[in-house]
């Protein structure tokens, strides 16, 4: 942000992160950690940024926008969520209302909007669960392969472990995008190794080729 500067009309750039556990399309969590303290208008901005990014990168013209809360009712949530809900209802976005934590991985919405504090905890919780599942799948696969004398790679193929592993592995996307700055920025994990960096570069390539930063700048001036 200091080097590139913010796009005019974007007071709070946000981190958007893809989560690809439930096919056919991944969901997009925004803000995933850039803004700990937010106002309702910031969450509306995040919803617009999420809508734009998903429509450009995934090709979903009118992605469903869900507001993360502790209940589906309009009156549920803290003051930030209640006021944000009122503002989002007035937009032209495909806002479907509040969604709860258990709805995240059910594909209830393509874009999930929240503040950076909640979003970062949500993202890291999902990553932690995914890491545990990956380890458990690997251990179970080794046991079955040994008991039934089946090569592990064959077992992975026959029961679909490979596709599950891919969906659970954060390295498949490699990083999260910082939307709202004058440039295309992908933030990778501090623990990223070759595969994650390769996929982060791929996501950066898509982001740059589709001129996301330029489109955001145009939208913010409309």
Q: How far apart are CA 70 and CA 79, in angstroms?
A: 12
Which domains are seen in the chain, by residue range? 14-131+175-221 (3.40.718.10)
Q: How far apart are CA 33 and CA 53, in angstroms?
A: 17
Give the C-alpha distances (Å, rounded to integers) separating 163 from 22, 146, 166, 173, 208: 11, 21, 5, 14, 28
**What pLDDT is recorded for position 128?**
75
pTM of the predicted model, to two decimals? Answer: 0.82
Q: How far apart are CA 88 and CA 111, in angstroms?
A: 13
Q: How far apart are CA 34 and CA 108, in angstroms?
A: 24
**What pLDDT is recorded for position 164?**
45
181 bridge partner residues: 6
pLDDT in tens, 53-95: 999 988 999 999 999 999 999 999 999 999 999 999 999 999 9
CA 166 to chain CA mean position, Å: 16
For every residue of 97-164, DSSP letters joined together read EEE-GGGGGGTS-SEEE--HHHHHHHHHHHHHHHHHHHHHHHHHHHHHHHHTT--HHHHHHHTTHHHH
Q: How far apart are CA 96 and CA 199, in angstroms?
A: 31
Regions of the chain where pLDDT drops below 50: 143, 155, 158-161, 164-165, 167-168
pLDDT in tens, 148-163: 555 555 545 544 445 5
User: Do residues 30 and 111 lie in contact, with contact meaning Cβ atoms separated by under 8 Å?
Assistant: yes
Q: Positive or negative CA dihedral for 68, 72, 77, 82? A: positive
**What pLDDT is recorded for position 170?**
56
**What pLDDT is recorded for position 166?**
52
């Amino acid at each position: 942000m200091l080097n590139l500067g913010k796009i005019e009309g974007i007071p709070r750039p946000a981190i958007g992160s893809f989560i690809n556990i439930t096919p056919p399309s991944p969901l997009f969590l925004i803000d995933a950690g850039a803004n700990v303290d937010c106002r309702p208008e910031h969450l509306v901005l995040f919803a617009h940024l999420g809508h734009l990014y998903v429509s450009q990168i995934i090709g979903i013209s009118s992605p469903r926008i869900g507001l993360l809360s502790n209940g589906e009712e309009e009156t549920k949530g803290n003051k930030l969520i209640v006021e944000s809900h009122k503002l989002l209802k007035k937009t032209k976005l495909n806002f479907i209302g509040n969604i709860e934590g258990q709805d995240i991985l059910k594909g209830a919405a393509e874009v999930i909007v929240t503040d950076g504090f909640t979003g970062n905890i949500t993202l890291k919780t999902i990553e932690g669960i995914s890491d545990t599942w990956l380890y458990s799948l690997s251990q179970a696969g080794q046991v079955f392969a040994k008991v039934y004398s089946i090569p592990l790679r064959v077992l992975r193929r026959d029961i679909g472990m490979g596709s599950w592993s891919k969906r659970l592995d954060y390295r498949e996307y490699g990083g999260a995008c910082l939307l709202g700055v004058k440039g295309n920025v992908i933030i990778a994990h501090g623990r990223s190794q070759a595969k994650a960096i390769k996929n982060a570069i791929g996501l950066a390539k898509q982001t740059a080729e589709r001129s996301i930063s330029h489109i955001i700048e145009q939208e913010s001036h409309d």
